[in-house]
């Protein structure tokens, strides 16, 4: 009959597709926010010498922020690069300076490899482009606590947690983006950027180590801090209070990433 409702396969399929599309947008939007901010804010701190070198290498992406997301997009096509995004240390090995990098690569070794390509004026334009996109991404990753995690739980990916409403998550996902999502939910979209910019102003003229091992050590020490609940996989439940009490740490890690990325690029491109 005309007025009875029958499920329409075409419409059902369209709805399904739409829902999947929304889910996939959300997946991408997580740590993307942090990576993009690190690179866009770093860009604003570049010297004229550095800008001259950086601009042609990021042109294809339109902005440094966008270019710094590329390393995540290619993970499926270039599986050999997956382990380049983190460096894990077991609990009885807390020193990032003596950390062993596995055969298939790790964040610290990959950072140095890509930095060498960037510094090598003989390297092809294509390789230098990739190196620039990798470096911007890696400086973000090395400031994220769960990217200097334990190997046993895959950097917190297997440290399972439960939210107050019973929804399940894991430590890695929480620190990659769910705390940022909660920050946006509580304080609005602009709050993170405003605070990051404030912290960049606060820290940009202080002394910063030029070594990635030192940034990694700071990140590791943070991951091991009692309040984080990662040491010994102690945390089981995530409360709003837990997320809110770590907002400042996230803002600070992004600010420090931006400052150190700009200083690194300003250093390698000085006096050319
Ligand atoms: N897989 C294993 N360790 C990881 C880490 N620290 N981050 C992301 N993926 C991982
Ligand atoms: Zn990454
Ligand atoms: Zn991650």
Percentages of the chain per state (helix, strand, coil), in multiples of 5: 65, 5, 35
Q: How far is it, in rounded angstroms, from Cα 224 to Cα 239?
A: 19
Q: What's the rounded mean pLDDT across residues 76-101?
A: 97
State the number of CA atoms in the 13 A half-sphere of 101 facing the CB.
15
DSSP secondary structure of 195-222: HHHHHHHHHTTS-----HHHHHHHHHHH
Packing angle of the helix pair 247-268, 191-203 (nearest 10 deg): 50
CB atoms closer than 10 angstroms to residue 223: 23
- Indicate the pLDDT class of residue 202, thresholds 50, 70 and 90: very high
pLDDT of residue 31: 82
pLDDT of residue 145: 97
Ligand 1 centroid distance, CA of 76 (Å):
15
Give the contacts of 146 (CB within 8 A, at least 6 positions apart). Answer: 86, 155, 156, 171, 172, 175, 176, 223, 230
Mean pLDDT of the chain: 92
pLDDT of residue 26: 47
Ligand 2 centroid distance, CA of 44 (Å):
22
- Indicate the pLDDT class of residue 17, thresholds 50, 70 and 90: low
Q: Which ligand is nearest to the CA of 154?
A: 1
Q: Pick the residue whose CA is nearest to atom 2 on ligand 1.
A: 154
- Indicate the pLDDT class of residue 9, thresholds 50, 70 and 90: low
Q: 3-state class of 189 per DSSP?
A: coil
151 Cα distance to chain centroid = 18
Q: How far is it, in rounded angstroms, from Cα 218 to Cα 208?
A: 12
Q: How far is it, in rounded angstroms, from Cα 49 to Cα 27?
A: 37
Residue 23 pLDDT more than 90? no
Ligand 2 centroid distance, CA of 211 (Å):
19
Q: What is the CA radius of gyration of the chain?
A: 20
Bridge partners of residue 117, in order along the sequence: none
Q: What's the rounded mean pLDDT across residues 195-203?
A: 98
Over residues 116-125, the pLDDT tens digits come to: 999 999 999 9
pTM recorded for the entire structure? 0.90
Ligand 1 centroid distance, CA of 107 (Å):
10
Ligand 1 pocket residues where CB is under 6 Å: 85-86, 88, 146-147, 149, 154-155, 157, 172
Residue 172 pLDDT more than 80? yes
Over residues 122-151, the pLDDT tens digits come to: 999 999 999 999 999 999 999 999 999 999
Q: How far is it, in rounded angstroms, from Cα 226 to Cα 160?
A: 18
Q: Which ligand is nearest to the CA of 68?
A: 2
pLDDT of residue 5: 53
- Indicate the pLDDT class of residue 14, thresholds 50, 70 and 90: confident
């Amino acid at each position: 009959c005309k007025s009875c409702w029958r499920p329409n396969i075409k419409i059902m399929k369209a709805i399904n597709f739409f829902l999947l599309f929304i889910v996939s947008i959300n997946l991408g939007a997580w740590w993307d926010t942090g990576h993009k901010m690190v690179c866009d804010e770093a860009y604003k701190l570049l010297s004229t010498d550095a800008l001259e070198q950086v601009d042609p290498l990021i042109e294809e992406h339109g902005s440094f922020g966008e270019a710094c997301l590329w390393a995540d997009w290619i993970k499926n096509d270039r599986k050999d690069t997956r382990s380049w995004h983190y460096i894990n240390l077991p609990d009885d090995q807390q020193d990032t300076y003596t950390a062993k990098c596995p055969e298939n690569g790790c964040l610290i070794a990959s950072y140095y490899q890509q930095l060498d390509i960037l510094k090598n004026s003989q390297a092809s334009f294509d390789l230098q482009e990739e190196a620039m996109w990798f470096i911007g991404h890696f400086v973000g990753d090395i400031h994220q606590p769960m990217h200097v995690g334990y190997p046993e739980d895959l950097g917190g990916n297997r440290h399972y947690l439960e939210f107050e409403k019973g929804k399940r998550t894991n430590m890695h996902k929480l620190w990659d983006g769910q705390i940022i999502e909660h920050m946006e939910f509580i304080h609005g979209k602009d709050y993170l950027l405003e605070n990051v910019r404030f912290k960049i102003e606060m820290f940009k003229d202080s002394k910063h180590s030029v070594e990635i091992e030192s940034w990694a050590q700071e990140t590791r020490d943070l991951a091991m801090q009692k309040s984080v609940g990662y040491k010994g996989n102690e945390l089981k439940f995530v409360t709003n209070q837990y997320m809110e009490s770590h907002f400042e740490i996230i803002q600070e890690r992004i600010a420090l990433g931006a400052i150190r990325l700009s200083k690194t690029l300003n250093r390698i491109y000085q006096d050319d």
